[in-house]
């Protein structure tokens, strides 16, 4: 019997990479009126859509290119969350893994290689592939000829949960990233986990429930 193909799609920043403080530092430098509370709310939607709709003051600096130029000065300080590498390796033994990120693909790859887990991922889709995570998730579905129920998206933001839902994909949320649990709950994820080691069990539970549902309908 052929083994069922299951895919775990990962956001990168705030899930695998501990990058919140670096990204907030750059955002605050460009938009001095940002508070941390406000910054966390802009992740309720696709971050590039959120940037376009910002109401800026005279002290703000706009421009995606300038943002990433500033971020280049700090990205070398980013580290993976403790336990993220072992969690990824465990999941890669059972599922196909891919990255769906708002960052730049080559930068994400560099961090994965530094952490020794780049080989665990079949694809790394950053902003250079598409700004929409809906489109990038659909690319995965099309590339591997799979259905939405064969995937789960692991993320730390409400905006990602909503984009995944637009592709028919459910999400597992993590509480150690950019947004707090109470905000993530608004997206009704399958589960919210508090530690990287808990994610392996949550992913297993998700696919077990999906298999049971499909079997019951057949």
Would you state the pLDDT for residue 216? 56
Whole-structure pTM value: 0.93
- What is the bridge-based pairing of β-strands 170-174 and 151-155? parallel
> In the chain, which residue ranges form alpha helices assigned H by DSSP?
20-30, 36-41, 47-52, 64-72, 84-92, 105-114, 133-144, 158-166, 181-184, 196-217
Would you state the pLDDT for residue 70? 87
Would you state the pLDDT for residue 54? 86
- Contacts of residue 70, Cβ cutoff 8 Å, sequence gap at least 6: 26, 29, 30
From CA 168, how far away is CA 35, in angstroms rounded? 33
Would you state the pLDDT for residue 59? 84
Would you state the pLDDT for residue 39? 96
Distances in whole angstroms, Cα of residue 152 to Cα of each of 8, 22, 131, 167, 177: 5, 27, 20, 11, 18
DSSP 23-70: HHHHHHHH-TT--HHHHHHGGGS-HHHHHHT----TT----HHHHHHH
List, for the chain, all residue ranges whose pLDDT scores fall below the cut of 50. 1-2
Would you state the pLDDT for residue 2? 38
Tens digits of residue pLDDT in 80-106: 999 999 999 999 999 999 999 999 999
Would you state the pLDDT for residue 213? 60
- Other CB atoms within 10 Å distance of the CB of residue 126: 20
Would you state the pLDDT for residue 218? 54
């Amino acid at each position: 019997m052929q083994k069922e193909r299951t895919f775990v799609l990962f956001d990168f920043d705030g899930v695998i990479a501990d990058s919140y403080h670096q990204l907030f530092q750059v955002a605050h430098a460009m938009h001095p009126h940002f508070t941390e509370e406000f910054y966390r709310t802009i992740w309720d939607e696709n971050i590039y859509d959120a940037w376009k709709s910002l109401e800026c003051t005279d002290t703000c600096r706009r421009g995606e290119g300038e943002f990433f130029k500033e971020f280049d000065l700090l990205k070398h300080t980013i580290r993976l969350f403790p336990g993220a590498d072992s969690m990824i390796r465990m999941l890669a033994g059972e599922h196909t893994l891919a990255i769906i990120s708002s960052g730049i693909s080559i930068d994400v790859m560099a961090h994965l290689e530094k952490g020794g887990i780049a080989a665990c991922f079949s694809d790394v889709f950053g902003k250079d592939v598409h700004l929409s995570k809906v489109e990038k998730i659909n690319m995965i579905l099309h590339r591997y000829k799979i259905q939405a129920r064969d995937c789960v998206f692991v993320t730390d933001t409400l905006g990602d949960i909503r984009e995944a839902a637009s592709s028919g994909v459910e999400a597992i949320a993590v509480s150690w990233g950019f947004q707090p649990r109470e905000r993530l709950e608004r997206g009704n994820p399958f589960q919210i986990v508090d530690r990287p080691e808990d994610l392996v069990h949550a992913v297993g539970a998700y696919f077990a429930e999906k298999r049971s549902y499909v079997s019951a309908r057949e």
